[in-house]
Structure 1
Amino acid sequence: MTDEPKSAPPDEEPSASATAPADVATGEGDTEPAPSVVDDVASERDRLHDLLLRKTAEFDNFRKRTERERSEFARRAAEDLLRDLLPLVDDLERALAVTPKDSDGDSYRIGVELIHRQLLELLRKREVTPIAAVGEPFDPNLHEAVTEEPSDEHPEGTVIREFRRGYRLGDRLLRAAMVIVSAGNGADDEATPEADDSAPASEVGQT
């Protein structure tokens, strides 16, 4: 009699514990970071944010300060250049003052007048304007007094003569005007002697 082949034993099903993921088996996947770690991360985030804001503000202030310094340097350089041109204007005006006005055909005077006009036009375009002086009240912010002289025509404290013209650059003083100021006519200083009212009436007319 022949032996029937024995059937193979059925495959054993793997146990649930063997196939379960490690994190499920251990329960580690459900854990959350500790509160101290969250606080540390939030604190570091806030610190970096504050640092970014501070550095941004510092850079903005640096940029503004640099622009102001550059603008101030350019303004001072232009101011110095314009101030250096003023003595040349003075020399041209002195040359015109000693040249007879009836010599209009003289090429020398014509040339000086041309240069003088061109310089004044250049200064005007740069907002350089002359300061009024003669006949004006003395202003220490605009005028530099050389001396005082008595005057019958001008009241005390009035500019009666100008040695050197002054100029403004916009609303700022570029160069003060050198002037002579009136000290008045001096008549008020010569007081008439008055009779001594304290003398007794009986003494009046006695020899």
Structure 2
Amino acid sequence: MTEEQKNTKQEDVIETDAVDQTEVIFDEVSEEPAQPETEAPQDELTAAQEKISELEAKIDEMDNRYLRLQADFDNSRRRARLDIEAAHKYRAQNLVTDLLPALDNLERAMSVEADNDQTKTLLQGMQMIHNGLLESLKKEGVEVIEAVGKEFDPHIHQAVMQVEDPGFESNIVVEEFQKGYMLKDRVIRPSMVKVNQ
């Protein structure tokens, strides 16, 4: 074989190898599906971000609901405690309210003029009972509302009459028709009074 034929044969082998390699590369490229590389990950990223936002919104809503429930629970517990304290503080209110008419009748009976010793003795006994009742009520926190000579206060006085008396200043209680009572800081019954204009 001549030198020229050897060279030609080598060139054919090289060309054949180059064609075979090109076909292999082309086959590898053609086997992969043609998908845009940036679209799929971008769509997945957007979907993931939306899901994260949705979950964060749910967490915020649940936190708010939890905080509201906690506040409602604290408020109801505080109200229950205040109700128990008020019930304990004013436990004698019903008894005091029931005793006031009897106390008023006792005071009216004691205002009778005593004309003999028997009546005086009876009035002294009634006075002792009256004092004992007032002392017992005082131990429970009941106080008589001061009225005559005091400035009229609509929270503790009930005006049933008005007069013009030059001996008193304006808006001063002139006379008391019925005593008023307070239990601690609560008015059980306002004083029924006559007020100067």
Which range, TM-score by smaller chain?
0.5 to 0.7
| 1:173 CA drift (Å) | 1.9
Q: In the alignment, which residue of structure 2 is the partner of 1:113?
A: 127
In structure 2, the residue corresponding to 1:174 is in which secondary structure?
strand
- Given candidates 168, 179, 182, the residue that maps to 1:154 is 168
Q: Name the CA shift for 1:56/1:97 in 2 (closer, same or farther; >3 Å).
A: same
**Partners of 1:71 and 1:135 in 2: how far apart?**
35
SS at match of 1:98: coil
Distance 1:61 1:138 in 2: 38
Q: Is the 2:114–2:120 contact (alpha carbons within 8 Å) kept by the matching residues of 1? A: no
Asked if residue 174 in structure 1 is aligned to residue 188 in structure 2, the reply is yes
1:32-47 equivalences in 2 (<5 Å) = none
For residue 179 of structure 2, the aligned residue among 149, 165, 185 is 165
Query: Are the counterparts in 1 of residues 143 and 183 from structure 2 also a CA contact under 8 Å?
Result: yes
- 168-177 or 71-80, which deviates more: 71-80
8 Å contact kept, 1:129–1:167: yes
- 1:147 shift after superposition: 0.9
SS at match of 2:134: helix
Report matched runs for 1:42-121 at 5 Å: 64-100=78-114, 103=117, 106-121=120-135
Corresponding residue of 1:195: none
Partner in structure 2 of residue 134 of structure 1: 148
Change in Cα spacing, 1:172 to 1:76, as seen in structure 2 (3 Å) is: closer
Measured in 1, the distance between the counterparts of 2:75 and 2:154 equals 38
Q: Can you give the 5+ residue segments of structure 2 that lack an aligned partner in the other structure?
A: 1-62
TM-score, normalization by structure 2: 0.56
The answer to whether the Cα contact below 8 Å between 2:96 and 2:137 also exists between their aligned partners in 1 is yes
> Which whole-Å CA distance do the structure 2 matches of 1:182 and 1:58 have between them?
50
Are 1:103 and 1:109, in contact at CA under 8 Å, matched by a contact in 2?
Answer: no
- Tell me by how many angstroms 1:85 deviates: 1.7
Alpha-carbon spacing, 1:65–1:181, altered in 2? closer, same or farther (3 Å): closer
Counterpart CA distance in 1 for 2:78 and 2:153 is 37
The answer to whether the 8 A contact 2:90-2:183 is kept is: no
Distance 1:60 1:132, change over 3 A: closer
CA contact (8 A) 2:92 2:140 kept: no
Change (3 A) 1:149 1:74: same
Structure 1: unaligned runs, 5 residues or longer:
1-49, 184-207
Cα distance in 2, alignment partners of residues 98 and 105 from structure 1: 9
The number of equivalent residue pairs is 139
Give the superposed CA RMSD: 3.5
Distance 1:152 1:60 in 2: 57
